[in-house]
Amino acid sequence: MKLRRTLAFTRRALLQFRHDRRTLAFVLLMPLLMILIFGYTFGGDVGNVKVEITNQDAGLEPGILPALPQGLHMASSVIDNLNKNTLSIHNSSDPQEARQVVDKGNAWAAIIFPANFTMTLIQNLNTSQVSARPIVEIYLDGSNPTIASAVIKTVSQAIQTTVGEIANKLNVKSIEMPITINQVYAYGGGDTKFIDYFAPGVISFAIMMVTTMITIILFVNERRDGTLQRLLVSPASETEIVIGYALAFAVIGIIQSIVVLVAAILLFNITILGNVLLALLVVLLLAFGHQGLGILLSAGAKNELQAIQFIPLILFPSILLAGLFWPIESIPSYLQPLSFFIPLRYCIDAERSIMLRGWGLGEIWVDVAILVIFAILTLAGSVLLLKKRD
């Protein structure tokens, strides 16, 4: 393999993109558009969720407990501590009424504090044996899991904050919680936004789509126009042709990734805990693999129209099974094994680990190894395909 001949192909392809402004725009703008659309539409966290609150808590009268001379009204404190950006609160005096509002679909949840809410907590303070825990009822419309979990998360955060305040006042270390939700984050923490989770997927997905589409069309045109035949009747080897084009896509892939990363950082303030260079390297491996796949698929298409028909074939399994929008764990269990055959899965997995967990090559090497194998197989297959003489 000669470097000069290999780079001649890289140069040619890159110059083509430079002249073909529309394709260049597509290559750069498509990933940007994706991160913008997805970032703004469902990148933001849930907000303005309508809830009904019924506060029946009688509280603790002042002067009864020496430790709390001002008395205590725990439910009110919890309500004060609710995130008002997430929840849009309407007060309702009757719990039954509040539930009905939810039943009618006019609110997502009814949050009901019982009369003994504060007192149960106080009683627990005095005994080592916890007889009954204070209960807050959340009457939920669970039809939208994202909203439902946002409500629960907001309420439990408010309770945690309130309990913390009371513990401070009482000068004790911990208090038995009204709802035992123990949130411990190994990674990410409570402030991980959906866009943080989504950005690594968008980068991987955009590069996969662009690389596959452009490669298929590039090689269909090479065959149709006869330029490929001309390359084959030249001293250049099939390996040089494939590697030369792969390098061109590497350059394009890096530029795409940088565009998306910069946009995601500037507009959505995404988190990147790990090594950005490693993140780029992983996505390049995916690009190499899909370039090989594109060359292989191009052999099955006689023109651009036929080539485009391959797109949904790659697009849908990748969107649905690779964990782009929702976790693979949420796919029906009998379909989950299919995701093992989708290279995008490993790329998204590795990118999330790098960006959100700050992991390095030591932790993500399995993903990387699979992507390397995928790239080697498809590129080697492409070389063999080009070497094929009927």
Beta bridge partners of residue 53, listed in sequence order: 91, 111
**CB-based contacts of 337, cutoff 8 Å, min separation 6:** none
Is 169 among the residues that bind other proteins (CB under 8 A)? no
- Considering only 145, 173, 332, 390, the residue that binds other proteins (CB under 8 A) is 390
Q: Smaller CB distance to other proteins: residue 243 or 322?
A: 243
Closest to 71 measured CA to CA, from 82, 58, 83: 58
Q: Smaller CB distance to other proteins: residue 329 or 390?
A: 390
Residue for token pair 């959340």: 138
- Considering only 9, 117, 310, 346, the residue that binds other proteins (CB under 8 A) is 9
Q: What's the rounded Cα separation, in Å, for the pair 178 and 111?
A: 14
- Single out the segment in contact with other proteins by CB under 8 A; choices: 4-12, 46-54, 71-79, 117-125: 4-12
Q: How far is the CB of 250 from other proteins (least distance, A)?
A: 19
118 within 8 A of 175, measured Cβ to Cβ? no
How would you classify residue 323: left for phi > 0, otherwise alpha for psi between -120 and 50, otherwise beta?
A: left
Beta bridge partners of residue 109, listed in sequence order: 51, 140
309 within 8 A of 234, measured Cβ to Cβ? no
Q: Smaller CB distance to other proteins: residue 89 or 236?
A: 236
Rg of the chain on CA atoms, in Å: 29
Q: Smaller CB distance to other proteins: residue 49 or 246?
A: 246
Within residues 240-279, the interface with other proteins by CB under 8 A covers 240
Is 5 among the residues that bind other proteins (CB under 8 A)? yes
Closest to 318 measured CA to CA, from 295, 293, 341, 342: 342
Q: How far is the CB of 259 from other proteins (least distance, A)?
A: 22
- Considering only 1, 3, 15, 67, the residue that binds other proteins (CB under 8 A) is 15
Task: Beginning with the edge strand found earlier in the chain, give each strand of the sheet holding 87-91 in spatial order.
Answer: 87-91, 49-55, 109-113, 137-140
Q: How far is the CB of 345 from other proteins (least distance, A)?
A: 34
In this structure, the number of other CB atoms found within 10 A of the CB of residue 223 comes to 15
* Structure tokens belonging to residue 72: 């205590």
Q: How far is the CB of 390 from other proteins (least distance, A)?
A: 6
* Structure tokens belonging to residue 227: 């330029």
Is 85 among the residues that bind other proteins (CB under 8 A)? no
Q: How far is the CB of 254 from other proteins (least distance, A)?
A: 22
Is 20 among the residues that bind other proteins (CB under 8 A)? yes
Q: What's the rounded Cα separation, in Å, for the pair 130 and 121?
A: 10
Q: How far is the CB of 207 from other proteins (least distance, A)?
A: 22
Q: How far is the CB of 277 from other proteins (least distance, A)?
A: 31
The contact mask relative to other proteins for 213-242 (x = CB under 8 A, - = no) is -----------xxxx-xxxxxxxxx--x--
- Single out the segment in contact with other proteins by CB under 8 A; choices: 6-14, 26-34, 163-171, 315-323: 6-14
Residue for token pair 């690594």: 200
Is 11 among the residues that bind other proteins (CB under 8 A)? yes
Closest to 355 measured CA to CA, from 205, 195, 208, 190: 195
Within residues 22-51, the interface with other proteins by CB under 8 A covers none
* Structure tokens belonging to residue 71: 């008395």
Q: How far is the CB of 2 from other proteins (least distance, A)?
A: 8
Q: Smaller CB distance to other proteins: residue 275 or 306?
A: 306
Using CB under 8 A as the binding criterion, the count of chain residues that bind other proteins stands at 26
Q: How far is the CB of 17 from other proteins (least distance, A)?
A: 8
* Structure tokens belonging to residue 365: 């090497």
* Structure tokens belonging to residue 31: 């990933």
* Structure tokens belonging to residue 323: 């964990």
The residues that touch other proteins, with contacts defined as CB under 8 A, are: 4-5, 8-9, 11-12, 15-16, 19-20, 224-227, 229-237, 240, 389-390
